[in-house]
Structure 1
């Protein structure tokens, strides 16, 4: 009986957390960019170009393997396009901490003619919460994740929160 109750609590907690994240993203995003789940991105068959729409100081703490840092505050569309294949049908997944800044960057790519662009649902926080690996600037696995600020850090449940 204890196992059943524990399982129920775990599933309820995950579902409640998901609903709260849905509510947060609905508040901040326009949903003009389709989401990709972290589980879909983690599939070995998912061959996508990863763009990190966080600032360089966040990227340096940790990022998804093979991600290209494009930033947000000083995002430059032309410089980013120069790093992408000429094929505007290439699959591109943009992420940030939770998926808010990345939607804005992804939307700019869509407006520039890219047709296969996704926003990573829940960003690097959701990626780490699902126990997927992040790496540091030397390519080593790390538990550290830049938590953006104290308010937003509540969404990062796993890993070591870094603020500077």
Structure 2
């Protein structure tokens, strides 16, 4: 009996030690998985930064002097490092310019159908494709000089504004946009003429 008791005690101690060891390993495993979670958190937070950087790159790709029109369906990229600000005029100011300015080019960039339905007397139907791709050559073909005043016109003033921005990337800097377009022109009491010259 005396010889058996110490062995029984040793077995119990061994079992306790094994249990403590197992629990220690388990707690280490938990803490290490906690650490791995802590390590993963910065990676997860770094991911949006990478996305932000990619957004910045995408924005930069659109910006070297391009208008919104230059990137999407409206037209090609145009450098605008030296471009100024588009000068907007209202219908009454345009009427005054027409009566007082000699070297004035009115270019209507509406669709051909819209131009036929009604345009400001004296305005030319603008070739939108050429104005976006070869603006200087196109204006030269119309006889426009860099010092001439050029007014861009469309139905609402939106499309013509984008074309005006393109022209500011060229040697033509005396560029205006009719704010509100032909809609405001008519609203202010001025007439449009049809293709045959009738109002």
Give TM-score, length-normalised by structure 1. Answer: 0.61
Q: 1:55–1:71: 8 Å Cα contact kept in structure 2?
A: no
Report what 2:149 is aligned to: 91
Of 104, 110, 113, which aligns to 1:54? 110
Q: Distance in 1 between matches of 2:108 and 2:151?
A: 9
Report what 1:4 is aligned to: none
- Which ranges of 4 or more aligned residues in structure 1 deviate by more than 6 Å? none
Structure 1 pair 75–101 and aligned structure 2 pair: CA distance change class (3 A): farther
Q: Distance in 1 between matches of 2:166 and 2:194?
A: 27
Q: Distance in 2 between matches of 1:82 and 1:110?
A: 18
Q: Distance in 2 between matches of 1:114 and 1:79?
A: 12
Uncovered stretches (5+) of structure 2, i.e. residues with no partner: 1-67, 70-83
Of 116, 138, 142, which aligns to 1:79? 138
1:36 paired to 2:89: yes
Q: Distance in 2 between matches of 1:95 and 1:51?
A: 6
Uncovered stretches (5+) of structure 1, i.e. residues with no partner: 1-27, 142-164
Report what 2:125 is aligned to: 69
Q: Deviations along 1:112-160, whole A, 9 cap, x unmatched?
A: 111210000100000011110110011111xxxxxxxxxxxxxxxxxxx
Report what 1:13 is aligned to: none
Q: Distance in 1 between matches of 2:101 and 2:192?
A: 17
Q: Distance in 2 between matches of 1:129 and 1:75?
A: 30
* RMSD of aligned residue pairs (Cα, Å): 2.1
Q: 1:62–1:137: 8 Å Cα contact kept in structure 2?
A: yes
Flag the structure with larger Rg: 2
SS at match of 1:135: coil
Q: Distance in 2 between matches of 1:32 and 1:114?
A: 12
Pairwise CA distance, 1:71: 4.1
Q: Deviations along 1:52-94, whole A, 9 cap, x unmatched?
A: 011111101110011111143x344233441142x20101110
Q: 31-40 or 101-110, which moves further after superposition? A: 31-40
Give TM-score, length-normalised by structure 2. Answer: 0.51
